[in-house]
Amino acid sequence: LKTTLGMSWFTESMRAGRPVEILDKHELQVVLPDKEQFLMPSYACQRLTPLESHNNKFTEALSLLAENAELNNEEGRAVAFRRAAAVLKALPVMVTSATQLRGLPCLGEHSQRVIKDIIENGVSNEVESTMHSERFKALKLLTGIFGVGAKTADRWFKEGIQSLTQLVHSGHELNPAQQAGLEHYHDLNQPVTKAEAEAIGDIVRRVVLDVLPGSEMTLTGGFRRGKMTGHDVDFLITHPDEGKETGLISKVVSLLTAQGLLLYQKTTRNSYMENKGRLAQPSSTMDRFERCFCIFKLEIKEMRPDKDWRAVRVDLVVAPISQYAFAVLGWTGSKLFERELRRWASQVKSMSLSSHALFDIKQCKYLRTTSEEEIFSHLGLEFIPPTERNA
Ligand code: DCT
Ligand code: MG
């Protein structure tokens, strides 16, 4: 207790007669000044995080600092800000005073300072100056090009490139993904609506069933968590007879290309192999499924003066049925929720979780399942429905 919360918080709580109950080492019952009690466990995968938060102004500020840290390749800092933002997202009340922050997990000194600034002054100077800095604006613009990551954007910024026009005139040779990203820059930076995602789903599903009758397809990513817009559309495909799905993606891509529906595509084959000798597979963020990252040409109903279609980023991923539950869980997100699930698995349960499998390191065996519910159960967690995974 002393090490996790600090003695002063504890003694102060006792003196003030605030009930404090340690349920187990990962669950802490905190009582807010208005006497509302709730649980705020420290791993995001132990709590419900709905889409709508009571603390948007804080979470947006912390997310911006996280994004800035990501653009600066400071991953540790970025995750700390993301975890702090996630705690405030899960809080069932709006924070109006710094005393409410006491006892909450994952709020480091830096995040607390930002929250206090906003409580006291309405804004955080650090957030304001970051948001308006030339560097942040340029890196955000450049990483907004599909195929451009933080490192490339940073290199270009150091060469003085701060706009798309400057990039075009710089003479840099862009790879095919970046060329497509630049060409469709405007469309790809417009949010994709649920209706657009479903329209693409109908087209792709028809092609998938043509190629392999009996296939199943699920809309994953943010849309499965209840979001009404997203930056892309993520689909997972499988077939009840294991093995039949092999090679499916290249046939689907050929048909979509023949219909003129793909503006760009990059297909990769499945490279996953179970290997007990290596103990756990790395629980990395990237999986090894057969997949296609593409830019879809979607016909739009309302005629625009210049064109009657828009470009949309679409990910098509194929998983064997035996790995499907893991793939659905891994592709539903949010990114932080997934990261926290993997951290919980390894730190608390000595297991390695990926979008392919769950490996019990102590028992040296894979834990097979056919549903997300069973995976949570293997991990000793309450089931969290997709719409509550918006950490
Ligand atoms: N994912 C992950 N770790 C990553 C990248 C992705 O766990 N580093 C998982 C979680 C979400 C899913 O893949 C799809 O990724 P995105 O499309 O980037 O996220 P999203 O939640 O669908 O966001 P958006 O709604 O903006 O598309
Ligand atoms: Mg997505």
pLDDT for res 304: 73
Cα of 230 vs centre of ligand 2, distance in Å, is 6
> Residue 280's pLDDT band (boundaries 50, 70, 90)?
very low
Ligand number with the minimum distance to the CA of 193: 1
Give, as residue ranges, everything with CB less than 5 Å from ion ligand 2.
Answer: 221-222, 230, 232, 234
pLDDT at 283 over 70: no
Q: Is 175 exposed, middle or buried (0-12, 13-18, 19+ CB in 10 A)?
A: exposed
340 ligand 1 Cβ < 6 A = no
Instruction: Given the residues 154, 187, 234, 287, select the one marked as catalytic.
Output: 234
pLDDT at 105 over 60: yes
pLDDT at 4 over 90: no
Question: Range with the lowest mean pLDDT among 24-28, 92-96, 97-101, 302-306?
Answer: 24-28
Instruction: Given the residues 24, 117, 154, 232, select the one marked as catalytic.
Output: 232
> What residues have CB less than 8 Å from 115, skipping those under 6 apart?
58, 61, 62, 88, 95, 98, 101, 107
Segment 95-107 mean pLDDT: 93
Other beta carbons within 10 angstroms of residue 187's beta carbon come to 18
**Is residue 241 a known part of a binding site?**
no
| CA-closest candidate to residue 389, choices 44, 119, 133, 137 | 44
Q: What is the pTM of this model?
A: 0.90
For ligand 1, mutation pick of 338, 342, 388 (most atoms within 8 Å of CB): 338
**Is residue 117 a known part of a binding site?**
no
pLDDT at 243 over 90: yes
Integer CA distances (angstroms), 125 to 55, 117, 121, 128, in order:
18, 8, 9, 5
Cα of 13 vs centre of ligand 1, distance in Å, is 40
Cα of 221 vs centre of ligand 1, distance in Å, is 6
Q: Give the strand pairing for 233-238 and 229-230.
A: unpaired
Question: Range with the lowest mean pLDDT among 4-18, 82-96, 288-302, 314-328?
Answer: 4-18
326 ligand 1 Cβ < 6 A = no
Segment 335-343 mean pLDDT: 98
**Is residue 24 a known part of a binding site?**
no
CA–CA separation, 63 and 68 (whole Å)? 9
> Residue 30's pLDDT band (boundaries 50, 70, 90)?
low
HSE of 95 in the Cβ direction (CA atoms, 13 Å)? 28
241 belongs to the catalytic site: no
Question: Which stretches of 192-334 are DSSP H helices?
Answer: 194-211, 221-224, 248-258, 324-332
ipTM: 0.97
229 ligand 1 Cβ < 6 A = no
Contact 97, 119 (CB under 8 A): yes
210 belongs to the catalytic site: no
Contact 275, 256 (CB under 8 A): no
pLDDT at 26 over 70: no
